[in-house]
Chain A
Amino acid sequence: MFVKEGIIASPGIVIAKVLVYEKILIEVNESKIEDSEAEIIKFQNAVKKSHEQLETIRIKAISELGKEEGAIFEAHAMVLDDPEFVEGVETEINDNHLAADHAVKIITDRFYEIFDQMDDPYFSARAADIKDVGTRVLQNILGIVQADLSKLDEDVIIIADDLTPSDTAQMDKKRVIGFATNVGSRTSHTAIMARSLEIPAVLGLGDITETVKTGDLMVVDGLTGKVCVNPTNEQLESYENEKLKYRNYLKELEELKDLDAVTLDGRKVELVGNIGEPNDVAGVLKNGGVGVGLYRTEFLYMNSDVMPSEEKQFAAYRSVLEAFPNGPVIIRTLDIGGDKKLPYLPMDDELNPFLGMRAIRLCFKEIGLFKVQLRAILRASVYGQAHIMFPMISAITEVRQAKAILLDCMKELEAEKLPYDKAVKVGVMIEIPSAAIAADIISKEVDFFSIGTNDLCQYTLAVDRMNQEVSYLYDPFNPAILRLIKQVTATSDQKDNFFTGMCGEMAGDPLAAVLLLGLGLDEFSMSALSIPQIKKIIRSVRYEDAKNIADAALNMETGEEIMDFVQKSMKKLNLNI
C-alpha cells in the first residue's frame, strides 16, 4: 500500500483496477539517405494515412464527446496540411538528406518547443497537439501500432505518462473511469478530458507509471488530489464512504440548484457568489447562485502589468452582468493596499498598512485611477443589475465624497452621450466598526450594506488572524460581532428598498447560517461551492425559530457559549451539517 499526491484535475473518487498504458518508444533513422524522392513519398503516404485515421477518430469523438472534442482533430488535420509543417519536413529530406521519420521528428520538435515555451496555458496545450500529430505521422512511417484501448472488458483506471487527444478519443468511455498520470496540469488535455467525461483524475504524480503495474487496485481521489495504490481494507472502507458522501452531495446539489433559498415559513433570502474574475461566474451559476454579492475587482489590477484600461474593465464587468440578467451583481471598487500591492502603482511602506492608505482612501488619493473604474462600471451598468460598492468606509463623509466622484463620472458620460443605468445602486462594505455603529447615519446615503466579517472581526477585536500567537482571539461568534451585525440589520429593517448582505467567510459557514438568518440578513455571498449547503440549511428551518436562536445568542457571554448553543439548537431542529 502507498499513497501519492498529485494535482487535482477532475473531482470525484473512483476505485478500480489499473491499466498501465505504455507507449512504444519511437526510434528514428538518423543516417543520411540519398534517395530523397522515396522518403518524400513515404512522408506523403504517412500524411495521407494519418488523414484517414484522424477522420475516423473525429467522427467517433463527435458522437461520443461532442463537437468541441471533434474540433481537436480538425485542428490536427490542419497541422498535417500546414505549409510550414509540410515544407519544413520536405526541406529537411531534400536539402539535408534526412530519412522521412527523422525529418518529421525534427520539425515536430521544433514547433513543439516554440509552443511549449509560451507562458499561456492554451499554447502549452497546443504543443501537446503538435506532438500528437507528429507521433501519428511517425508511427505511420515506421508502421508502429499502439495498444488498443477501444474495447475493454472491465472498468479500469488508465495510468500513463500523459494522454494525448488521440489516446483519449479512441478509449472505451464506458470502461475508463479514472486517470492518473506522471505529468500534466489543470489545463492539460488529460485534465480537460477528465472533466468533460466527469471522471476523477489526479495528474503530475511524477513516476506513477513506474510504481504501479496493470492489475493493481487503485483509488483515485480527485477531491484531495491523492492516489492510493493497493489500499488496506480499512482505507478501502473509508474511501467507499467518501465516494458515497460525494455522490449524495452531488445529488443534493443538483436537486437544490433551481430552488429559492426560502425558509419553511416563507422568508426568502438571496444566495449569491463571491468572484474574483469573470471566469468564476460559471461556478456560481452551476451551484445555483442568483447573482454576485462580491466581485473583487482587484484581480483585474493584480493580474496585469499595467493599469487595466477602461475598455478592458468595461468588458469584464459587462460579461459578469450579462451572466445574471435577473440577479444583482455587486462590484466592489478597488481594494488595494494593506497586504495587496500593484507593481505599477508605487506605495510607501507604512507602519500599520491595515490602518493606512488602502481601498477607498487610496482611490481618493488616486482619483484618476478611481474614475477609470467608475466609468467602466457605469458603462457596463446597462447590461444588468449593477451595484457599486465602496470598501473601507468609516464615516458618511467618505460615502459623500465617493458619490461626488461617481456623479462627476456620470456627467462625463452624459456629455459623451454614453449610456449608463441612472438608477444604479450604491452601497458600502461594513467592515470598520465605526461604520457598523453609525449604520443608521450612513444608510441615508446608500441603497445597501454588505458586511465584511473578516475585516470587521479583525478591526473590532484588534486581532491579526494571520498572527498565530493571537489568532485564537479571532472569532466571528464573539457577542460583540453579533451585536454589530444586529445593529446593521436593524437599520436596514427600518428602511424600504434597502438590503443588508454579508460577503465575509462567515456567510458561507454552515454553523453560522441559522444565526445570520435570525439576525435578519437579506443576502448571503460566499464562494460558489458553499451555496448548495447553505441553501439546504435555509430551506430546512423556520425564520421564527432562527430569530429566537439569534435573540438568545445576543444575550450570551462568549463566542464559545454561542457556538455551542447554535450547534445544539440546530440538532434539535434536525439540521445536520
Chain B
Amino acid sequence: MVKKEVTVLNATGLHARPASMFVQTAGKFKSKIFVIKDGNEINAKSIMGIMAGGISQGTTVEIQAEGDDETEAVDALVQLINDKFGE
C-alpha cells in the first residue's frame, strides 16, 4: 500500500468541479483508493463520498491506494491537489 499526506489549497476545496476531476482521475486506476480525513475512509471513486466529505481549503488529507498501480494513483491525485485543479 502507498500513502501520502496532502493539503487542499484551491479556494473551493473539493467542491463541484474539483471533486469530479478528482473522482474521474481516481477512476482511471485499478487500485482501491481511499481518502482519509479525520480518521474516516472515503472511497476516492465515489463523487458522493468525496463531496459529502466536506474537504475544504486548508484541510490535510491522506491518500491511500492498494493495487497494481498504487504508486501512480497516489502520485496523480496528489499532483492534482497540489496544482489546485488548474484553478
User: Residues of A with Cβ closer than 8 Å to B?
Assistant: 74-75, 78-79, 82-85, 111, 114-115, 118, 122-123, 126, 130, 315
Residue-by-residue, is B35-53 near A (CB-CB < 8 Å gives 1, otherwise 0)?
0000000010111110110
Question: B residues bordering A, Cβ < 8 Å?
Answer: 11, 15-16, 20, 23, 43, 45-49, 51-52, 54
Q: How far is the CB of B45 from chain A (nearest CB, A)?
A: 5
Collect the chain B residues with CB atoms within 8 Å of residue A126's CB. 51
Name the 7 nearest CB pairs between A and B, nearest first: A84-B46, A78-B47, A114-B52, A84-B49, A83-B46, A82-B48, A82-B46
Please measure, in the bound complex, the distance between the C-alpha atom of A79 and the C-alpha atom of B20, giving whole angstroms.
Answer: 11
24 contacts between A and B (CB under 8 A): A74-B20, A75-B20, A75-B47, A78-B20, A79-B48, A82-B47, A82-B48, A83-B43, A83-B45, A83-B46, A83-B49, A84-B43, A84-B46, A84-B48, A84-B49, A85-B46, A85-B48, A111-B48, A114-B52, A115-B52, A118-B54, A122-B16, A123-B51, A130-B48
> Which residue in B16, B20, B23, B52 is a CB contact (below 8 Å) of A111?
B52
CA A130 to CA B20, docked complex, whole Å: 15
Q: Which residues of B contact A111 (CB under 8 A)?
A: 48, 52
Q: How far is the CB of B13 from chain A (nearest CB, A)?
A: 10
B16 surroundings in chain A (CB, below 8 A): 122
Partner of A79, one of B11, B43, B45, B47: B47
- Complex formed: what's the CA distance from A78 to B24 in Å? 9
B21 to chain A minimum Cβ distance, whole angstroms, is 11
| Chain B contacts for A115, CB-based, 8 A | 51-52
SS class, residues of chain B in contact with chain A:
helix
Question: Considering the chains assembled together, what is the distance between the CA atoms of A75 and B47 in angstroms?
Answer: 9
**B residues within 8 A CB of A118?**
54
Bound: A75/B46 CA distance, A: 12
C-alpha spacing A79/B51, complex, angstroms = 11
CA distance A83 to B54 in the complex (A): 18
B77 to chain A, nearest CB (A): 16
Q: Which residues of A contact B52 (CB under 8 A)?
A: 111, 114-115
In the complex, chain A residues whose CB is within 8 Å of the CB of B46 = 82-85
Nearest CB of chain B from residue A132's CB, rounded to whole Å: 13
CB distance from B67 to the nearest CB of A (A): 15
Q: Whole-angstrom distance between the alpha carbons of A114 and B15 in the complex?
A: 15
Q: Which residue of A lies closest to B9 (CB)?
A: A311
Q: Name which residue of chain A comes closest to B23, CB basis.
A: A78
Chain A residue at minimum C-beta to C-beta distance from B27: A81
In the bound complex, how far is the Cα of B51 from the Cα of A123, in angstroms? Answer: 8
Shortest A91–chain B CB gap in Å is: 14
A85 to B47, CA, bound (A): 10
Q: 16 additional contacts, CB 8 Å, given A78-B23, A82-B48, A123-B51? A: A75-B20, A75-B47, A78-B47, A79-B47, A79-B48, A82-B47, A83-B45, A84-B46, A84-B48, A85-B46, A111-B48, A111-B52, A114-B52, A115-B51, A122-B15, A130-B48
Instruction: Return A442 CB to nearest CB of chain B, in Å.
Output: 38
> In the assembled complex, how far is the CB of residue A320 from the closest CB belonging to chain B, in whole angstroms?
14
Q: A75 to B20, alpha carbons, bound, how many Å?
A: 8
Give A315 to B9 CA distance when docked, in angstroms.
Answer: 12
Residue of B nearest to A126 (CB): B51
CA distance A130 to B46 in the complex (A): 13
Smallest distance from the beta carbon of A339 to chain B beta carbons, Å? Answer: 30
Contacts of B49 in A (CB 8 A): 82-84
A20 CB to nearest chain B CB (Å): 32
Shortest Cβ distance from B59 into chain A, in angstroms? Answer: 14
In the bound assembly, the distance between CA atoms of A485 and B82 in angstroms comes to: 52
A315 vs B20: C-alpha distance when bound (angstroms):
24
Shortest Cβ gap from B20 to chain A (Å) = 7
Among residues of B, the one whose C-beta sits closest to the C-beta of A115 is B52
Closest Cβ neighbor of B56 among chain A residues = A120
B20 proximity list for chain A (CB < 8 A): 74-75, 78
Chain A hits for B15, CB < 8 A: 122
Smallest beta-carbon distance B65→chain A, Å? 15
Chain B contacts of A130 at CB under 8 A? 48
**Which residues does chain A contribute within 8 Å of B43, judged by CB atoms?**
83-84
- In the docked arrangement, what's the CA distance between A282 and B35, Å? 36
User: How far apart sit A315 and B23, CA to CA, in the bound complex (Å)?
Assistant: 27
Closest residue of chain B to A85, judged by CB? B48
Q: Given the complex of chains A and B, what is the CA–CA distance between A126 and B50 in angstroms?
A: 12
Docked CA distance A315–B11 (Å)? 9
Closest to B51 in A: A126
Residue of A nearest to B13 (CB): A120
B30 CB to nearest A CB, Å: 14
CA distance A126 to B48 in the complex (A): 9
CB distance from B32 to the nearest CB of A (A): 10
A284–B8 Cα gap in the complex (Å)? 31
> In the docked arrangement, what's the CA distance between A79 and B16, Å?
13
Query: A82 contacts which chain B residues (CB < 8 A)?
Result: 46-49
What is the CA–CA distance of A262 and B48 in the complex, to the nearest angstrom? 54
Closest CB of chain B to A122's CB: distance in Å?
A: 6
How far is it, in angstroms, between the C-alpha of A284 and the C-alpha of B55 when the chains are bound? Answer: 32
In the docked arrangement, what's the CA distance between A78 and B11, Å? 23
Most chain-A Cβ atoms within 10 A of its Cβ — which of B20, B43, B49, B51? B51
Collect the chain A residues with CB atoms within 8 Å of residue B45's CB.
83
CB nearest neighbor in B for A107 = B48
Q: CA of A82 to CA of B52 in the docked complex: distance in angstroms?
A: 13
Q: How far is the CA of A84 from the CA of B47 in the complex (A)?
A: 9
Complexed CA–CA distance, A82 and B46 (Å): 5
Inter-chain CA distance A79–B48, complex, in Å, is 7
In the complex, what residues of A have CB within 8 A of residue B47's CB?
Answer: 75, 78-79, 82
Query: In the assembly, what is the distance between CA of A79 and CA of B50, in Å?
Result: 12
